[in-house]
Amino acid sequence: MKPSPEFSLIQQYFQALTMRRADVIVGVGDDCAVLDNPQDCFTAISIDTLVQGIHFFADVDPYRLGIKALAVNLSDLAAMGAKPAWFTLALTLPEINDDWLKQFSAGLADIANDYQIQLVGGDTTRGPLTITIQVHGHVPKDNLLQRNAAKASDLICVTGCLGDAAAGLQYRLGQLDTTLLTDADIGYLLQRLEMPTPRNQIGEQLVGAAHAAIDISDGLLADLNHILTASNRGAKLDLSALPLSVALQKLPEEVATQLALTGGDDYELCFTATADNVMLIKRQFPGLIQVIGEITDKAGLFFRNAQGEWQGFSEIKAGYDHFS
């Protein structure tokens, strides 16, 4: 099977822009890619599809779309502490638009180079714009980082800031009150929505240091809940500790808190670790790690509000309509 002319086109734009890894024995252009696995590692694999109109707006900048398409996949590798290695791309396009392909490939190549991950194969078909990427990474055999090993009294940490992407989405939908925001704030929120920063460097350092980790794609509460369910534990969260960007801090407190708790698409990491290890990780990544709560032995989710009062999940649920 020869690569389709359409895929050759992407390859033509992409190839010149991207680095070559030594462990790619056969890359794009043959029937299969042939890849050299390190002896001491397992392969971690994840796949994500972005569909126009569902995961991104039709008019989104194709350069940014190229970045996001790979970023959301890199984020899954980060959550497992996997080192990025290779990816494949399946692209469904309504038409061959050279300019669009050129910009999309440039975004894809830029983030691929930043994370040292190489495109090793792909396919193109005609249809509604859809981007599917499968990533492959390496994890050390002796130390897997998963969702299911949170321990009582672990501190719960998140990377970066939360809620920005959801605020950017609300802005695009005309649902965000921008009275107090500057153009720079709005530009920042859109950048966070359209070009998330996967936390692979941090994720790799969590291997052996954190007990459980996940990336925040569906919102902190939903994703933390995956850790709690898989680990059969509960949590106490300090709402005043949620890391909020300068832009989010300008919004009404309830709005910002809701965005930070339930907004998806941030692609930050949530992890649990002992207090000692959290201190070490914080030292490695100054300003990027925030402690937001603690794992409890008993199941259930409790919140400490700004007044210092503890509330059960159901007591504040009414205030946050996206919880369900």
Contact residues for Mg ion, defined by CB under 5 A: 76, 215
Residue 204 vs 215, nearer CB to Mg ion:
215
316 and 310 Cβ atoms separated by less than 8 Å = no
Residue 76 vs 268, nearer CB to Mg ion:
76
Residue 101 vs 150, nearer CB to Mg ion:
150
273 and 192 Cβ atoms separated by less than 8 Å = no
247 and 167 Cβ atoms separated by less than 8 Å = yes
**What gap in Å lies between CA 222 and CA 323, rounded to an integer?**
8
Residue 10 vs 270, nearer CB to Mg ion:
270
Give least dist CB 217 to Mg ion, A: 5
Task: Report helix, strand and coil shares of the chain as percent, to nearest 5.
Answer: 35, 25, 35
Give least dist CB 47 to Mg ion, A: 11
Residue 10 vs 202, nearer CB to Mg ion:
202
192 and 165 Cβ atoms separated by less than 8 Å = yes
Give least dist CB 157 to Mg ion, A: 17
Side chain identity at residue 242, one-letter code: L
Q: Please name which of 222, 31, 209, 9 lies closest in space to residue 104, comparing C-alpha atoms.
A: 9
Structure tokens at 54: 């569902």
Secondary structure (3-state) at 291: strand
- Rounded to 5°, the CA angle 145-146-147 comes to 140
Give least dist CB 227 to Mg ion, A: 11
Give least dist CB 214 to Mg ion, A: 6
Residue 76 vs 265, nearer CB to Mg ion:
76
Give least dist CB 125 to Mg ion, A: 26
Residue 20's H or E segment, with its range, is: none
Residue 107 vs 198, nearer CB to Mg ion:
198
Beta strand 83-93 with 118-126 is parallel
Give least dist CB 228 to Mg ion, A: 15
**What gap in Å lies between CA 171 and CA 166, rounded to an integer?**
9
